[in-house]
Amino acid sequence: MNKYSEELKEKTREILYDCPVESFMRDLKCHLKNINGKFGTMRLRDAMESRYVIHLLNDTEGKSESYESIDDLLEGGWVVD
């Protein structure tokens, strides 16, 4: 299902694991995109606490998707934007 490059998936893993401040500069959130065209954000605090909750934007604003791990998030089609 996930057609993103291995490099982008690895970059996503590194950012969500290491939580570099520069990746969360916009409102203390990291922006993500989904292979199905959705967009969302993850709060720095959630990433630092290994809570992988993506707050959906656009038509689905106010809703969220939660994942047990970074690998589950990647399998769900999400990568950093």
pLDDT in tens, 12-50: 999 999 999 899 998 899 999 999 999 999 999 999 999
| Interior angle at CA 48, CA 47 and CA 53, nearest 5 | 25
Phi, psi torsion values for 42, nearest 5 degrees: -125, 130
Quick check: 2 pLDDT over 80?
no
Of residues 34 and 59, more confidently modeled: 34
Average pLDDT, the chain: 93
pTM: 0.90
Residues 6+ apart with CB under 8 A from 48: 19
